[in-house]
Amino acid sequence: MKKVLVACGNGIATSTVVASKIREACEEAGIDVSVSQCKLLEVKSKAADYDLLVTSGMFTGGEANIPVIGAISLLTGVGEEETIEEILMHLKSNGCRPAK
């Protein structure tokens, strides 16, 4: 199962919107996924345990060693499909972690 971390300013509002849209899209595409939410300030200490980081806004505050996708389009509705497509591609692609 792939693990996605969704981060936003307070880990509540916009990340909930983004997280539920990702869950919905994955369900439709038949991808087994676990989506968690956090504050941007927590990314540094949490990101390592995840396969993909999705942020609701822009994020220049720190580096993460996992792929990062900015998903502001899921809030504005402009370019929403493309972003969902990009997220799904990352989750389908080979970056599978060996099962522990």
- Residues involved in catalysis: 8
One residue of 30, 65, 77, 98 binding other proteins per CB under 8 A: 77
Residues 9 and 27: their CA atoms lie apart, in Å, by 26
Nearby residues of 89 by Cβ (< 8 Å), 6 or more positions away: none
Please state the closest distance from residue 44 (CB atom) to other proteins, in A: 6
Identify which range of 27-35, 36-44, 87-95 contacts other proteins by CB under 8 A: 36-44
**H helix runs in the chain, sequence order:** 13-29, 43-46, 73-76, 80-92
Q: Decide: helix, strand or coil at residue 72.
A: coil
Q: Does 83 bind other proteins (CB under 8 A)?
A: no
Q: Does 37 bind other proteins (CB under 8 A)?
A: yes
* Binding residues vs other proteins (CB under 8 A): 7-17, 20, 37, 39-42, 44-45, 55-62, 72, 75-78
